Amino acid sequence: METSVPAGILLAVALLLFAPQLAPAANLRISVRGAGVVEMPPERYVAAVLAGEGGVLQSDAALQALAVAARTYAVRLKGRHASEGYDFCDTTHCQRIEPKGITPRLESIAAESAGELLWYQGKPAFTPYSQDCGGRTEDAGAVWPELAAPYLTSHADPNCLRGPAAWRSSLDPRKVGQVLRRAGLRAPRQPERIAIAERTASGRARTLLLSGGGESVRIAAGSFRLAIGRELGWNTLRGDFYEVEGNGGQWIFRGKGSGHGVGLCQRGAEQMGLGGSSWREILAFYYPGTVAGLTGRGLAWQRLSGDRITLITARPATDRAALSTAERQLRVLAARTHWPVPDKIELRVFPDLDTFRDATGEPGWVAAHTVGRRIDLQPVATLARSGALDSTIGHELAHLLVESQAAPGLPLWFREGLVEYLERGGETTAPPRAPADTELLDRSNLQTARRAYAEAEAEVTALAGRYGETAVLGWVRRGLPPEVTKAIASQPATKSK
Ligand SMILES: [Zn+2]
Ligand SMILES: [Zn+2]
């Protein structure tokens, strides 16, 4: 475990802050049907899960609760498909994702709680969720015996009982027999009767007894439902919370809820949210005893408002200085660029390196990280010790401003070079060049990345000398002029040594 970073390294790497949406370090590998294995930054994955699993939710609080549950689920179960070469599949086996369904609203909901997890006794909790618990949640142990947990025991849920949630299905016993045998399960040759032989703590079916023609067979309700669902459709039996009548004739299932019923109930969460509960209250209700936060250590975060920036800190006395530094730098940048300052900028300062790494997924040598309008910063003392506090904050603010203005498709070398130019004043002695994205994003080779940044800065400095700073700043919104794009395209692709 790293405890301190040599000053020189941290200072150097403070210049290596990436456009956050391109940060490769903590990407998840998702197997997407029809597209192979796709890499995805964690918060984009969370937004894709919201689109895939929570698309019908209207309440922001319910979606936010689901975002924290989905993120925690991912952290806890990451690598379950490691032997197949990826972290998660895109089905309900892991979490259903719908990348094409990501909306700006879902993106901002994921970004708002970025890094927040649900903790139990200092470890990320196991946070399953289902569509509708039907009025009573299920014990985790009844569904996954090895994953039983004190915060996942069956309890009443009055929230989801509003509105019609009951369902009814009738099945032909002979057809059921065929379906079960095709699924490799035992079944009486002439099934006539069905009964619930055993129930779980919540009252759901655990074991069914099928009989007829002098035979009787016990079968797990879960296996029964999966076999029926696969062949007759997943809506035939929406869960195991049902009564069944079956004595000759058709078998009639009358159920409520849908899904396994363990953990957060989306239907109930939606009602809580629409009724004014916060996402924290929703999570506390469905995972009682867990703590939401950036770490399992129960840090008390406070918000201090400046003129344009809100500081989020666990150590207000130490970190207040970072807020005034940031406010000052933002004024300077806004005056120089004449760009409007985005509202709701947040500066979150971490009290120690471990917390920073846990929350951002960044290695300890990355000094800061920006997602949307929030800058996550390493401890002030660490940065100040190596003289990197001002330049790190300045770099991130310049990024935030540039990204808030950037035209679609604006090249990475130009964005990074401009940020360096604005923040450091174009003092580099590197030869001007437009480096490839791969060089700028290479975290395995510090030398390559540092040289690429210096070259990008030199290129932007040269352009500002030739066309004037005002023109170069204008390109951020309008895109690069054709003559510049053409000149860049004719540069040699090989790296200068
Ligand atoms: Zn899976
Ligand atoms: Zn419920």
Average pLDDT estimate for 113-124: 84
Q: Ligand 1 centroid to 71 CA: how many Å?
A: 15
Burial track 101-134 (b if 16+ CB lie within 10 A, e otherwise): ebeeebbebbbbbbbbbbbbeeebbbbbbbbbbb
Q: Ligand 2 centroid to 130 CA: how many Å?
A: 9
Q: Ligand 1 centroid to 36 CA: how many Å?
A: 14
Residues 464, 426: Cα–Cα separation, whole Å: 10
Query: Residue 54: which of 38, 33, 41, 71 has the closest Cα?
Result: 71
pLDDT digits (tens, 9 = 90+) for 43-99: 899 999 999 998 789 999 999 999 999 999 998 888 889 899 999 999 888 999 999
Q: Which two tokens stand for residue 353?
A: 């390196």
Q: Which two tokens stand for residue 97?
A: 């994702």
Ligand nearest to the CA of 32: 1
pLDDT attached to residue 439: 86
pLDDT attached to residue 7: 30
Q: Ligand 1 centroid to 88 CA: how many Å?
A: 5
Residue with tokens 């696969």: 230
Return the number of other C-beta atoms located less than 10 Å from residue 248's C-beta: 9
Residue 79 φ/ψ, nearest 5 degrees? 90, 10
Q: Ligand 1 centroid to 145 CA: how many Å?
A: 18
Query: Is the pLDDT assigned to residue 249 strictly greater than 70?
Result: yes
DSSP summary character for residue 151? G
C-alpha distance from residue 469 to each of 6, 175, 338, 460 (Å): 36, 76, 12, 9
Ligand nearest to the CA of 268: 2
Residues 396, 419: Cα–Cα separation, whole Å: 8
Q: Ligand 1 centroid to 48 CA: how many Å?
A: 15
Residues 26, 36: Cα–Cα separation, whole Å: 19
Query: Where does residue 84 rank: exposed (0-12), middle (13-18), buried (19+ CB within 10 A)?
Result: exposed
Residues 6+ positions from 157 with CB-CB distance below 8 Å: 133, 135, 136, 137, 265, 268
Q: Ligand 1 centroid to 118 CA: how many Å?
A: 21
pLDDT digits (tens, 9 = 90+) for 404-426: 999 988 999 999 999 999 987 76
Average pLDDT estimate for 349-361: 80
pLDDT digits (tens, 9 = 90+) for 25-34: 368 899 998 8
Residues 471, 202: Cα–Cα separation, whole Å: 67
Ligand nearest to the CA of 130: 2
Ligand nearest to the CA of 135: 2
Ligand nearest to the CA of 74: 1
Ligand nearest to the CA of 137: 2
Q: Ligand 2 centroid to 166 CA: how many Å?
A: 12
Q: Ligand 1 centroid to 81 CA: how many Å?
A: 7
User: 18 falls in which pLDDT band (50, 70, 90)?
Assistant: very low
Quote the radius of gyration of the chain (alpha carbons, Å): 28
pTM for the whole structure = 0.62
Ligand nearest to the CA of 160: 2
So where are the chain's domains?
1-20+299-404, 41-161+261-293, 166-256, 406-497
Ligand nearest to the CA of 86: 1
Residues 242, 253: Cα–Cα separation, whole Å: 6
Instruction: Identify which of 24-28, 268-272, 313-317, 371-375 has the greatest average pLDDT.
Output: 268-272
Average pLDDT estimate for 424-440: 85
Q: Ligand 1 centroid to 79 CA: how many Å?
A: 10
Query: Where does residue 144 rank: exposed (0-12), middle (13-18), buried (19+ CB within 10 A)?
Result: middle
Q: Which two tokens stand for residue 76?
A: 């806890």
Residues 6+ positions from 451 with CB-CB distance below 8 Å: 430, 435, 439, 495
Residues 419, 303: Cα–Cα separation, whole Å: 27
Beta-bridge partners for 120: 123
Residues 483, 486, 490: CA angle, nearest 5 degrees:
140
Query: Is the pLDDT assigned to residue 9 strictly greater than 50?
Result: no
Q: Ligand 2 centroid to 45 CA: how many Å?
A: 25
Which CATH architecture best describes the domain 1-20+299-404? 2-Layer Sandwich (3.30)
pLDDT attached to residue 19: 30
pLDDT attached to residue 496: 45
Residue with tokens 């090989």: 494
